[in-house]
Structure 1
């Protein structure tokens, strides 16, 4: 018997005699709720080099237009809450300058947006291919931390977690944006 066979025999023996009851996993994660989750979220979004606008519902259409800047061809997923000029969905995403979506929620401590691809969010590729992503998030959809986000999300739905514009660094730590997704992320946080 060689060493590999000895190890596997030992593992098999341990499995046969092991108590197969599962130990409970404690889920009492330590959570600290920051005093103002909206301000913390905004600070973290900017730390990730994303643009940020805070506005009211009445100011939202103008804020979106301003965030889109010179973008000519814009994707707007079905169920988006504001009437915008744009294409609701398209097969050839490379031909679009920008996409405007909503988010299921935001995470204050990490500045992360979570899309679960419900109404106003579209399919996953919409938020990954165009060069500009404008994402609208209501203040009441911001949670303090990751444990609260996981608890609030439906694990059966697809999810995309976004922390800043797409970025990577080479071996010399030179940051390059837009390699694996949108080069520009503009988050609009809506009060009311």
Structure 2
């Protein structure tokens, strides 16, 4: 798990106009909340935050101006739908040793059995509980040789040490679907043979 250090400034101006001024200075308005504390309104450097958020569940070490150091993980990220820049970010305050529930990306490796079957990602990210400073970046699942109708359940996935599932064991994560185009062609061929 990567940890990124960012310098944060406290902000006192709120509203759309203030947010636009902050973004014009290549910074991002941020709210830091959690542990029953009052939300802290901060400003973070835009480019550095954008790079940090490329890593799923990144741990951000904030050096808050005049208040000391805090650890946080991203909770909500709002991007401009057209240009893609960060408009606003909510960060959740965490402490070392604390367990948090996060979603980690599910990656696959290997090839399905021959036949043109399709792999459906029922869950693109798997909810897990992990220690805040040791959140896994992702989990990899082998799909080698799976046939149509096969499914991989949450309990079938090997999680990194220190992590446990935050969903039911029998939750379907991946499933293999039969290729529909081939079935339609076979049905059509069968109908033509029956007519002949």
What is the TM-score when the length of structure 2 is the normalising length?
0.23
Indicate the structure (1 or 2) with the bigger Cα radius of gyration.
2
Q: Which has the higher contact order (CA 8 A, sep 6+)?
A: 1
| Between structures 1 and 2, the one with greater strand share | 2
| Between structures 1 and 2, the one with greater helix share | 1
